[in-house]
Amino acid sequence: MDFDLTPEQKDVKNVKMVEGEILCETKEGISYLTINGVKDVNILTEKTLKQLGSVLQECKENEECRVLIITGAGTKAFSAGADVGIFLKVTQEATGGAEWSRFGQSVLNLLEDLGKPSIAAVNGIALGGGCELALACTFRVASAQAKFGFPEINLGIIPGWGGTQRLARLVGRQAALELLLTGKVIDAHEAYKIGLVSRVVSPTELMPTCEALAREIIKNSPIAVKLALKALQEGYDLPLKKALVLESTLAGLCCLTEDAKKAFRSFQQKGNRGKY
């Protein structure tokens, strides 16, 4: 089975968003990605994932894009997860399930390794692959009507797009095991309690809250933001001493940038020495 992106899909100049299942618009430094999937619950089909991969590559290369906000079309769902029909296809081949899993992982890895912060604006249900998509984002902000879960276990399978790994790193081993092994669905407030999301807001405040967070990030040096993400992501699982070496190397690179030199000169000229 071939789930890889085609050369045309990898060529960001050829990406067309207006007619697809992933809608994208960039305004004032923020790229808005909307999952406009099928069946009113924004199912993640093979086509949707390929479009998402293409859009993410464009956002990575687009200097106007500083922060991504990802949400689902409508008010019912962020995404109800992967197209269950695909499993009827992949189970016909010995390696089909593993290939589908690796393909989904490759797309979500693009999101996590974008070098730019991403915010999941979870406007409704986020189940299975939809929840895994949210986990791959830098931040998760939930509407009070959002729900989260991994129902794969009820179908005799497990999450395969990074859910078993990112979830445990985010909420801890015990909380992750309870969600993964029971398949239960939790509401936004329970998700906040276990650390799955950072904020819970009313549906009307969801997008303004995400935009305000994005604008706070955009105020800062894009290089510093990128290297801070790199330091945390790559250093998180390293032994402390090795992580500190990574941190000092990246901190040194920051000091060499024109952004930093300009900020320090301005800092001194304003007489704010010692104050931030």
Residue 83 is predicted with a pLDDT of 85
What is the value of pTM for the model shown?
0.88
Three-state DSSP at 108 gives helix
Residue-level length of the chain: 276
CA atoms within 13 A on the CB side of 5: 23
* Residue 214, token pair as written in the block: 């994005």
- Per-residue model confidence as pLDDT tens digits over 68-105: 999 999 999 999 998 888 877 776 776 778 999 999 99
Classify 200 as helix, strand or coil.
strand
Tell me the pLDDT of the chain averaged across its residues.
Answer: 89
Closest CA to 51 of 37, 72, 69: 37
In terms of Cα–Cα distance, which of 107, 104, 134, 117 is closest to 233? 117
Fold of the CATH domain 222-269: Lyase 2-enoyl-coa Hydratase; Chain  A, domain 2 (1.10.12)
Give the tens place of pLDDT for each residue, 151-163: 999 999 999 999 9
CB within 8 Å of 247: residues ≥ 6 apart = 231, 235
Q: What is the mean pLDDT of residues 28-32?
A: 96
Query: Does residue 161 sit in helix, strand or coil?
Result: coil
Residue 19 pLDDT level (bands cut at 50, 70, 90): very low
How crowded is residue 209: how many other Cβ atoms within 10 Å of its Cβ? 19
Q: Tokens for 232, please give them.
A: 């945390």
The two tokens of residue 40 are 């009113």
Tell me what pLDDT residue 1 has: 55
Looking at residue 16, what is its pLDDT?
A: 39
Per the CB < 8 A criterion, the answer to whether 131 and 149 are in contact is yes
When pLDDT is averaged across residues 177-189 and rounded to a whole number, the result is 98
Catalytic residues: 132, 152
- 6, pLDDT greater than 60: no
Rounded Cα–Cα distance for residues 261 and 79 (Å)? 43
What's the rounded mean pLDDT across residues 51-65?
Answer: 95
For residue 14, pLDDT over 70 is answered with no
The three-class DSSP label of residue 103 is: helix
Q: What does DSSP assign to residue 78? A: E
What are the tokens at 24? Answer: 């994208």
Domain boundaries of the chain, sorted by first residue: 7-218, 222-269
- 3 state DSSP class of 21: coil
Q: Which CATH class is domain 7-218?
A: alpha beta
Q: Read off the tokens for 266.
A: 């301005």
- The answer to whether residue 11 scores a pLDDT higher than 70 is no
Residue 117 has pLDDT above 50, yes or no: yes
In this prediction, residue 8 carries a pLDDT of 47
Which token pair is 204?
């009307």
